Structure 1
Amino acid sequence: MIWEKLKEWMGGGEDGNGEFQPEWITLLEKNLPLYKRLPDEMRQHLHERIARFVESVRFEGCNGLDVTDDMILTVAAQACLLVIHRDGVPYPGLRTVYLYPSTFSSIHKSVDAMGVVTEGRVHRLGESWETGTIILSWDSVEQGARDIRDGSNVTFHEFAHQLDHEDGPTDGAPGLASRAAYRSWARVFSESYADFQELTERGRKTVMDAYGATSPAEFFAVATETFFEKPRQLSGKQPELYEELVGYYGLDPREWLP
């Protein structure tokens, strides 16, 4: 499997003799058009991030799905683009990625204003758990990866949630470098979120998916999808929000997408 080959590549790379195999690059170019737009130096760094990711995370197929190298690379490349400037393990708290062939269902509990708990089964494209698990629908992963302009990408979305989990509550504020960074993030995101909720309540068309108005955590995840796939539209509509995301992710997708 690919993790064994990647371990060998990482070992060879330390001595300057390793090479990210051409067939892996071919798979990434086929499944992830965004990969071809990245600067050469960033692609090389992404290869190393992918290897670290695959080394630290277990992939499992569900409902009879056989997990292939193709699937692993497609998920790993997108996940690692979010943390391309990190050192060490890309997602230290993540242990397992479960892949379903298509939409899966799970039990959802909700509590109304009177404290009444309602439980029901809902259909999902992805989930991210604070216990170190991500669940993805493979056909949604594949579709989101191949269309880099629709602002919808379940892999970016769920891995943004995973970043949000890292510092405690899933509240739309991932781990940041300083108190000053938290203050700036809190101001910009709270104002942007309030404005976004108002627009969606009025039925106005927005560059971000309206699902982002359901909670601060979903706002951050949807903003991440839009940041990577519609950077110019987002920067035009929400310049302060965009700059916060540039600072957090350490990159600017406007440099790759025309």
Structure 2
Amino acid sequence: MIKWLQNIFSAPKPTYPLPKAWQKILARNAAFRTQLDPATQKRLDLGIAVFVRDKYWEGCGGLELNDEHRVTIAAHALRITLGFEEDYFDDVKTILVYPATYQVHAKENVGGGIIVEGPSTRLGEAWYNGPVILAWSDIESQMLKRGNPRNVIAHEFAHQLDYRNGMDADGVPPIESDEQATRWLEVMKSEYDKLCQICRHRGKRSVLDCYGTTNRAEFFAVSTESFFEAADQLAQECPELFEELRGYYRQDPRTATV
């Protein structure tokens, strides 16, 4: 309890406009912000202020959290909800940040009734009604690679959107109508099957990470990464998938329109 109170009182509580130091962090680590129109940029900045203030943040594995960690994570998390109305991931209360990849003890069902148990190396995790866990070194390396279609922050927060339909992430976030849901399921199944086929053949490449073949939930999260980080390439390689994501997220990263 004492540590939680210390975190609350020590966390910055900014007002709009964001402090200049924060704006410099965003210029380095969230270049997409400068492409947004002024009204959307203001909405993002206000969201970052709320997100940083209201979450419980904790550094793990010896990491001492600072403004760069909080502001960067907030910006990339909220980017994916810019098409929604005032969505600051209120269902996510806690964000844990490790300095690098970390290990957890995990059980994995590999089929045939066989369960493998042992250490598992992680870049991030998202839990239903629980924390989002991230590895900072992976975030840093992804930001340094321009044109990199990977973004672990977008990935884990896409899982949180997926959880809004229930305790099990299944790759189907809340969708407005039955007609849209039917279309979503058809396209996602087709694109998932296509990625599985591509990833079985060495030499073939896709804008989508083969980790997306793990299951439908991971496919949605991986697709979200590519939608925001490699929109042009995704639209060219997987036009139907791109259109489904554009409709769901209500924005187009190619033109920074919301």
Verify same fold: TM over 0.5. Answer: yes
AA of the residue aligned to 2:115: V
Q: Does 1:107 align with 2:115?
A: no
Task: Tell me how many residue pairs correspond in the alignment.
Answer: 247
- Does the residue aligned with 1:246 lie in a helix, a strand or coil? helix
Q: Does 1:243 align with 2:243?
A: yes
**Pair 2,238 (structure 1): closer, same or farther in 2 beyond 3 Å:** farther
- Does the residue aligned with 1:251 lie in a helix, a strand or coil? coil
Following the alignment from structure 1 to structure 2, what is the Cα–Cα distance between the partners of residues 229 and 188? Answer: 20
**Pair 2,173 (structure 1): closer, same or farther in 2 beyond 3 Å:** farther
**1:178 alignment counterpart:** 177
Long gaps (5+) in structure 2: 1-8
Superposition RMSD in Å: 1.9
Shift of 1:2: 7.8
**1:92 alignment counterpart:** 90
Following the alignment from structure 1 to structure 2, what is the Cα–Cα distance between the partners of residues 207 and 241? Answer: 12
Q: Structure 2 matches for 1:22-37, cutoff 5 A?
A: 22-37=20-35
Following the alignment from structure 1 to structure 2, what is the Cα–Cα distance between the partners of residues 152 and 29? Answer: 19
AA of the residue aligned to 1:241: L
- Does the residue aligned with 1:149 lie in a helix, a strand or coil? coil
**1:72 alignment counterpart:** 70
**2:211 alignment counterpart:** 211
- Does the residue aligned with 2:13 lie in a helix, a strand or coil? helix
**Pair 246,2 (structure 1): closer, same or farther in 2 beyond 3 Å:** farther
C-alpha contact 2:22 2:71 (8 A) present in aligned 1: yes
Q: Show CA shifts across 1:17-74 (max 9, x none).
A: x422222111100122222233332211101221232233211001111110111000
**2:231 alignment counterpart:** 231
- Does the residue aligned with 1:253 lie in a helix, a strand or coil? coil
Shift of 1:229: 1.1
**1:157 alignment counterpart:** 155
Shift of 1:89: 4.8
Q: Does 1:5 align with 2:13?
A: yes
Shift of 1:88: 4.1
C-alpha contact 2:124 2:152 (8 A) present in aligned 1: yes
Following the alignment from structure 2 to structure 1, what is the Cα–Cα distance between the partners of residues 79 and 61? Answer: 28
**1:15 alignment counterpart:** none
C-alpha contact 1:128 1:134 (8 A) present in aligned 2: yes
Q: TM-score, normalised by structure 1?
A: 0.89
Q: TM-score, normalised by structure 2?
A: 0.89
Following the alignment from structure 2 to structure 1, what is the Cα–Cα distance between the partners of residues 114 and 195? Answer: 29
- Does the residue aligned with 2:111 lie in a helix, a strand or coil? coil
Q: Structure 2 matches for 1:138-157, cutoff 5 A?
A: 138-157=136-155
Following the alignment from structure 1 to structure 2, what is the Cα–Cα distance between the partners of residues 145 and 28? Answer: 11
Q: Show CA shifts across 1:172-229 (max 9, x none).
A: 1111122222111111111111111112112321121111112111111111111111
**Pair 42,3 (structure 1): closer, same or farther in 2 beyond 3 Å:** farther
AA of the residue aligned to 1:198: Q
Identity, % of aligned positions:
35
- Where does structure 1 differ by over 6 angstroms across 4 or more consecutive aligned residues? none
Long gaps (5+) in structure 1: 10-17
AA of the residue aligned to 1:86: F
